[in-house]
Amino acid sequence: MNTDGHRWERRPAGEGAGKTDRRLMAPAAPRSPLRGLRVVVLLLVVGLAGAACRKEAPQRRWEWQSGGLTEALAAARAQGAMALVEVYATWCPTCHELEQEVFADNASRLPADRLVGVRIDFDTPEGQEVATNYRVMGLPTSLVLDATGKEISRIEGYETVDAWLGSLDKALAGKDDYAAVLTRFAEKPDDPELAAEAGAVKLARGEEEEGIRLLEEVRAKAGAPPKAVFAATRTLGRWFFRVRHQYDRALAYFQDGAARAGDDDAAWGFYWWTAMSLKELGRPDEALAVFERLMSEHPGIAQPVGLMAEYLYTIGGDDVRALELARRAAELGPTDDWNHYLVAVLAERTGDKAAALAAVRRAIELKPGEAIYAHLLERLSGGEEETTDGRR
């Protein structure tokens, strides 16, 4: 399950293997990636009837219900359908991939007659309420609800079109896609990795006591693989941060995760969440000190520099300093596409459109086809510039 683990969390714990994910709050919700595939008709009147010239016609696109969850459930009741609730965030690259690859490029494969879909922005008050009520720990999370709002199943993260649609088919058939996780764990109860997955499933189902017990057992198990320990620790931290909003408990888990990770790449993600927890606890100076210390301890490498730039951008901090840090990270790590994207969104926020365009073009050169980059390029260019994969 590829969800919004921080970009240095190579395999988000308890969420399965997946593409590297990154967390950055973009300045605005993404515009439709198909906006540039519109039909353009030019009527030429030269004494004769007009002749039409048109570009490639757009594919049918999934139509989201206007309003929020209440309106979607009302529409589902009226139509005798289920509700598909996509909890997303504009800063979540995997959310952009899901929107592009499923709801744009493969909308014709969705059972529109059986579903009423609504998108809920995680960073809005309603998004926070939905995240708490439905125990959303990672993004994107696609909830399949009956018309009363009862959860039938969920799809956490996004890997491929076929896998996601397969999970949706199971949900519409009333099958719990995560029952298989618990079945595998029941067959191998001593497997720490399966225990970490099962603990996350228990939490998502609302079985808090059992979920926490399983995850704590993984953390305490002698000889448990680091991957499983990181998984359990990260899941617990997110549970208390995103669902319970108990930031002191979240902080303890994230600090412990960073200590356990040591030199492993997973440590960077734990440091990020440590700072975010400190901020929520009203300790912003300590949050900044986390990154200052990392830059001091790791001079000459891009990760801590980019991490601090990203943090400042996310919390709405000093944009000028954040841009300086992002540019420094891009210099130190010139082949990391995310560093250039970070420069682009910060340059956009500070009003330097030319620099923003140059940076996002570089990000796309390094990683063609990344949906979040394509969406930013479209926004900056007004939909007139085509990316390397043919999108405008």
User: Per-residue DSSP letters for 352-374?
Assistant: -HHHHHHHHHHHHHHSTT-HHHH
Model confidence pLDDT, tens digit, residues 93-122: 999 999 999 999 999 999 999 999 999 999
387: its two tokens = 């990316």
Structural domains in the chain?
Answer: 35-172 (3.40.30.10), 283-392 (1.25.40.10)
* Greater model confidence, 39 or 203: 203
173: its two tokens = 């058939």
pLDDT the model gives residue 24: 40
Contacting residues for 17 by C-beta, under 8 A, at least 6 apart: 11
In the predicted structure, residue 8 carries a pLDDT above the cut 70: no
pLDDT the model gives residue 31: 32
Q: How confident is the model at residue 391 (pLDDT cuts 50, 70, 90)?
A: low
Contact 133, 127 (CB under 8 A): no
* Greater model confidence, 177 or 220: 220
pLDDT the model gives residue 57: 45
pLDDT the model gives residue 165: 96
Distances (CA, A) of 112 to 92, 96, 344, 377: 25, 21, 36, 30
* Greater model confidence, 296 or 60: 296
pLDDT the model gives residue 390: 52
* Separation between Cα atoms, residue 384 and residue 373, nearest integer Å: 15
pLDDT the model gives residue 179: 87
Contact 139, 88 (CB under 8 A): yes
pLDDT the model gives residue 195: 98
3-state secondary structure of 144: strand
Phi, psi of 23, rounded to the nearest 5 degrees: -120, 115
Cα dihedral 283→284→287→291 (10° resolution):
-160
* Separation between Cα atoms, residue 2 and residue 15, nearest integer Å: 7
Average pLDDT on 359-383 reads 94
DSSP conformational letter for 108 = G
In the predicted structure, residue 383 carries a pLDDT above the cut 90: no
Model confidence pLDDT, tens digit, residues 48-69: 333 333 344 445 678 999 999 9
pLDDT the model gives residue 392: 52
Model confidence pLDDT, tens digit, residues 353-365: 999 999 999 999 9
pLDDT the model gives residue 317: 86
pLDDT the model gives residue 177: 75
In the predicted structure, residue 33 carries a pLDDT above the cut 50: no
Helix (H) or strand (E) holding 152, with range, is strand 151-156
- C-alpha gyration radius of the chain: 22
* Separation between Cα atoms, residue 185 and residue 182, nearest integer Å: 5
Q: Kindly report the average pLDDT of the chain as a whole number.
A: 86
pLDDT the model gives residue 178: 84
* Greater model confidence, 391 or 187: 187
In this predicted structure, which of 125-129, 139-143, 158-162, 172-176 has the lowest mean pLDDT? 172-176
* Separation between Cα atoms, residue 305 and residue 27, nearest integer Å: 20
**AA identity, residue 341:** Y
pLDDT the model gives residue 60: 65
Q: What is the pTM of this model?
A: 0.83
pLDDT > 90 in the chain, percent: 78
Average pLDDT on 33-52 reads 33
* Separation between Cα atoms, residue 99 and residue 104, nearest integer Å: 6
Chain center to CA of 212? 24
Q: How confident is the model at residue 385 (pLDDT cuts 50, 70, 90)?
A: low
Average pLDDT on 369-380 reads 94
pLDDT the model gives residue 48: 33
3-state secondary structure of 148: coil
* Separation between Cα atoms, residue 298 and residue 286, nearest integer Å: 18
In this predicted structure, which of 58-62, 81-85, 189-193, 283-287 has the lowest mean pLDDT? 58-62
In this predicted structure, which of 26-35, 62-71, 296-305, 372-381 has the lowest mean pLDDT? 26-35
pLDDT the model gives residue 14: 31
In the predicted structure, residue 123 carries a pLDDT above the cut 90: yes
In the predicted structure, residue 260 carries a pLDDT above the cut 60: yes
Q: How confident is the model at residue 258 (pLDDT cuts 50, 70, 90)?
A: very high
Contact 274, 241 (CB under 8 A): no
